[in-house]
Amino acid sequence: MTTESGFRASVVQFEAVPLGKESNLATVRSLARSAAENGSRLVVFPEMCLLGYWHLTKRSEAELWEHAEPADGPLVSALARISRELGIGVGAGFLESSGSRLFNSYAVCLPDGGVHIHRKLHAFEHAAISSGDSFTVFDTPWNIRMGILICWDNNLVENVRAVALHGATVLIAPHQTGGTNSRSPYGMKPIPTELWTNRHRDPQALQQAVSGPSGREWLMRWLPSRAHDNGLFVLFSNGIGRDDDEIRTGNAMILDPYGRIVAETDVADEATVTADLDLSLLPLATGRRWLLGRRPELYGILTRPTGLERDARAARHSSDPVPLDVRAKD
């Protein structure tokens, strides 16, 4: 549903089947249809949800190539058909092959036939998976400019600001997060597998875990600020349940340009969260007004290397302390 000031969107959390392309695609098709029947014009599914995620870290490079597909391959083509048939936008993550490189990619298919592919800018999952090198911001049939950032892309504040400066007012933010083994002493920690296994006998224990410091509480430390500081809506989708040897926490939610949660799920299971985005909030949103106060001439330091830069895998997985002096070089 789209009105003069509103746009109905949905975000989804579900447990992907490792290598289960047909099963995952069937889930996407079913949940997208339900969202469309509820008036949604866009449905956002999680990162790498068409293939499964964390199991890829343990696959050989040959296995990754076996299951990767080009951007015009069967998976994205099927996603595009779902979009056209339902008359809505549909976004989902897959493993992309392009020439001699692999990417953690995300496709947003629009009902007018447009297909937009984002390659994760900070891919850390496997040495054979390359990081993308460009932002993905595009116009839509609804006169709303949108951008895509995948999971860890959103944790680096510069990326969200760049997407806003490219004109996006809605950020599509697919994830596979929660329950990770953070190197930081007060970061996320693994959620015991038995909580998921026993979820039907003891749902409260699982709910407390996914709502706690390794799930929703962690998100609340930073996610609302991405929306607020840049004056844009954030559509946060995520996996839920077993993801190889980790448990994802779901917490699917939609945030407005003030960083307020306008809709979220309290279900530790497959779920769809839907909200009407009040586009009239955008012009005077605090973060958008702050953009007008920027002084770009002061920010050259943001693009100068410090000499401490690491590739995404080293930065994400290393336990080495970061020096206190990270001054950029002159």
Please give the chain's pLDDT, 330 residues, in tens.
556 668 999 999 999 999 999 999 999 999 999 999 999 999 999 999 999 999 999 999 999 999 999 999 999 999 999 999 999 999 999 999 999 999 999 999 999 999 999 999 999 999 999 999 999 999 999 999 999 999 999 999 999 999 999 999 999 999 999 999 999 999 999 999 999 999 999 999 999 999 999 999 999 999 999 999 999 999 999 999 999 999 999 999 999 999 999 999 999 999 999 999 999 999 999 999 999 999 999 999 999 999 888 999 999 888 888 888 888 877
Helices then strands, each counted (H, E), the chain: 10, 14
Distances (CA, A) of 180 to 74, 115, 173, 176, 273: 31, 31, 18, 10, 23
Considering only CA atoms, which of 246, 96, 226 is closest in space to residue 171?
226
Are 78 and 96 in contact by the 8 Å Cβ rule? The answer is no
Considering only CA atoms, which of 122, 165, 133 is closest in space to residue 147?
165
Give the dihedral sign, CA 196/313/138/301: positive
pLDDT in tens, 69-98: 999 999 999 999 999 999 999 999 999 999
Euclidean distance between CA atoms 64 and 27, whole angstroms: 22
Strands 42-44 and 89-98: parallel
Euclidean distance between CA atoms 265 and 241, whole angstroms: 14
Strands 146-148 and 136-138: antiparallel
Q: Which residues of 155-172 are buried (b: 16+ CB within 10 A; e: fewer)?
A: beeebbbbbbeeebbbbb
Element (H, E) at 253: strand 253-255
Element (H, E) at 163: helix 157-165
pLDDT in tens, 57-67: 999 999 999 99
